[in-house]
A and B are shown apart, each in its own frame.
Chain A
Amino acid sequence: MPLPESSDSSPITSAQNTKAEVFSSSASVTEMEAIAKRLRRHIISMTGKAGSGHPGGSLSAVEIVTALYFRLLRHKPSDPGWSDRDRFILSKGHAAPLLYATLAECGYFPVDELLTLRQLDSRLQGHTDRTVTPGVEMSAGALGQGLSFAIGVALAGRLNSQPYRVYVLLGDGECDEGQVWEAAMAAAHFKVDNLVAIVDNNGQQIDGWNRDVMNLEPFNKKWQAFGWHVIEVDGHAFTQLIDAFEQAKSVRGKPTVVIAHTIKGKGVSFMENNPDFHGKAPNAAEVEIALKELE
């Protein structure tokens, strides 16, 4: 992907634009499938080693995050603060293992560091912390805050005439939070069309299925009613995800939400659709089985 011409006179961007190579991976679907498998293995190893963490909601969003970082985003792992970078904001901060694994695979920090997850003095905190981890845009974990933050980032880009796009990943359970809908209203009101929200719609939250805990349906119609362009995809199908993100680029005057239908714990048989693994790490035996399944 070529570096876009800089049409931008903002003082905070110009000096840094030439500093480092843009990570312009245009990975093929086959390559992304291999990357996704590596990320899943990292997630299992990291949470297994830590003895805690959130594997279920990390595994469900692997394809979403892989497609973004290895196909869509213009970013510079050697210069995480590059002002024109496309932003990926993880609102569902408990999927931190997935984001860390992705950032490491992109080269933001060594892959070896992944196994320090959740340890004292590690840069890889239990939930994302923008003050310590290179490439992390937001301190998240308190759910419902990322979409608002993303609107601010998108508005700043518009004010500065910067070309970047903003992607924010929410959980479906997270959409119980009222702030999400305050933000949904505002994003449409402010017409932030450089913003794409992705909902990792794995259907489950800690206490069970969403429909039993707090019904979100009609989910698609809710976003439409709030003024969003809505696209529904199979969240494990790279081609569908990439098509949706490309389509969103041409939507003008409104934000886009990609509702990505996913399976919690995807890729590990005993974790799939099992809410127990929302916030529980696999034990040593489970790690062994899971890694075997992901060979």
Chain B
Amino acid sequence: MQRRRSSSAQTDARNGSESSTRGELLLRALTAAGAVGVGGLLVGSLAGPAASAPSPAQDVRILNYFLLLEYLQQGLYEEARVAGGLTGEMRRFAAVAGGHEREHVDTLRTVLGGDARSKPEFQFGEAVENERRFGAAAVPLEEAAAAAYIGQAANLTTKRIPMIARMVPVEARHAAWIRGIVGREPAPHAADPPQEPREVERTIERTGFVKRR
């Protein structure tokens, strides 16, 4: 898959594409771009990567989408810490990553001001009591956060991107760390694929962590 995309990008480059299309080329080389994602109830409606004109209103939707993911992670790690069922490196991960997610939540809430969504009610169940279940929950949440940031960060207005660019690698570091702890390859792709909001939302729904009102 990776190989096929790469060679088609090479063919395009040989055909003399101009620099204005380089971004498209790189996106195509790295991802299956072009599809427009439409989120559901949790994340609202958002476009695919670099697919829509930035606007302050869209910033609010995107930053609230990131905020939901940060709330989820921070909630999971904090409740696991309080429950006291984690040991060793897993416990250290929950403490360190939990602190980072709290800072991310605070930063996003500050930027969003009155537009910030409220924190949903969560029900983490055994994921915060059982070490194996905690790992099995933390990996997909970190992966979803990293893929969500990759998918939407470039749709923000120019002034918002630098701050988010400093958070994106932190989510990826968390993902690599927790994968290493549970015995999975920390960096499974040469280039991480983005995810559409709809996929991210499905991941969140599968966990059952967000209480329905």
A is bound by B = no
Query: Which residues from chain A sit less than 8 Å from chain B, CB to CB?
Result: none
